[in-house]
Amino acid sequence: MPKSVVNPEFLPILEKMPSFDGLSSLSLPEVREVFLTSVRLIEGRPLPDVITREEYVPGLNNAPDVRVVVYTPREVQPNAPAMVYIHGGGLVSGHPEVDDPKCQKLASDLGFQIFSVDYRLAPEVKYPGAIEDCYAVLKWVHENARKLGISRDKVVVAGESAGGGLSAALSLMARDKKEYKLAFQLLIYPMLDDRTAINSDPGANFGEFVWTRSANKYAWQAYLGDKAGGPQTPPYAAAGRATDLAGLPPTFIGVGSMDLFLKEDLYYATRLMAAAVPTEVMVVPGAYHVFDMYVPDAELSRRFMDAYCAALKRTLNL
């Protein structure tokens, strides 16, 4: 797909972007440096009306405590809505601070208390480490809701890329365990299906920029091992594998028209609708993976964020 198809506002950053191709030939520190190099392109300024702090949440099944970065509006309302936010990074890299600008803006604009999960990364910790860390935070948020000043009826899960995939898996896990109820899932260009890593037909021109086929294959193999793409992947590892989507919370799925995940995301959205889950979908024209993080002030990036914020407001009656 030629660069001429890329929205002009998203073009300049491509020249500075490191290549995610060939990750399998790098050492793990080198792989994470590629991610960090891309993160350094993101500029954010702290918002004075949002307070940031750390918490440590007990892990599941004797796992280590999970670090959580909490974003709270300085003028927090009683029974505030809460968001469990899950960062991206291909399951092998990243940390909550990557999403400081987005989480601060969401907390400021919508009045959310946001709990961003510092989950354990692959390949050191493979599945189910990351999803269990996310569930541990969801559990802690619900069980401490009164002390935190949040409403158990307005807890949502959100994340981008790998974090979007973990968010979808967390929604499935919460539905199945029946311990905690989610009010909404916000899936931002989510990484949903390990079969895309081995499938030659996600669309010949998708995934040419930023997050590529080879990067995706590396990430899924780091998380699942040699079984990635095979018949035995459980839905809590890759939500696209779930056969029953009924009973999931209202959903927003957003993705760029040039994203490797476009096909799997639209398919998941279609299946959610078929399962009678209220679902809104937005495809951003001329947008590659994580376009909104790198060019947040572009018109289409602002429209994208406005759309999912509006969906949150409608669903939660904010």
Q: How far apart are CA 94 and CA 251, in angstroms?
A: 24
Residue 259 annotated as catalytic = yes
Residue 142 annotated as catalytic = no
Among 38, 93, 161, 171, the active-site one is 161
Q: How far apart are CA 66 and CA 260, in angstroms?
A: 30
Phi, psi of 205, deg, nearest 5: -105, 5
How many whole angstroms from its chain centre is CA 97? Answer: 14
Is the peptide bond between 128 and the residue preceding it cis, with omega within 30 degrees of 0?
yes
What is the dihedral sign for C-alpha 7, 213, 131, 31?
A: negative
Among 87, 95, 142, 289, the active-site one is 289
Provide the 10 A C-beta neighbour count for residue 147. Answer: 7
Residue 161 annotated as catalytic = yes
What are the CA-CA distances from residue 292 to residues 11, 71, 163, 244, 288 (Å)?
12, 20, 15, 31, 9
SS3 285: coil
Among 259, 265, 292, 301, the active-site one is 259
Helices 129-143, 162-177: crossing angle, 10 deg rounding: 60
For 175-200, give one letter per residue: b (16+ CB within 10 A) or e. Answer: beeeebebbbbbbbbbbbbbbbbeee
**Is beta strand 150-160 parallel, antiparallel or unpaired with respect to 80-86?**
parallel
**Is beta strand 66-73 parallel, antiparallel or unpaired with respect to 113-118?**
antiparallel
Active-site residues, by number, are 161, 259, 289
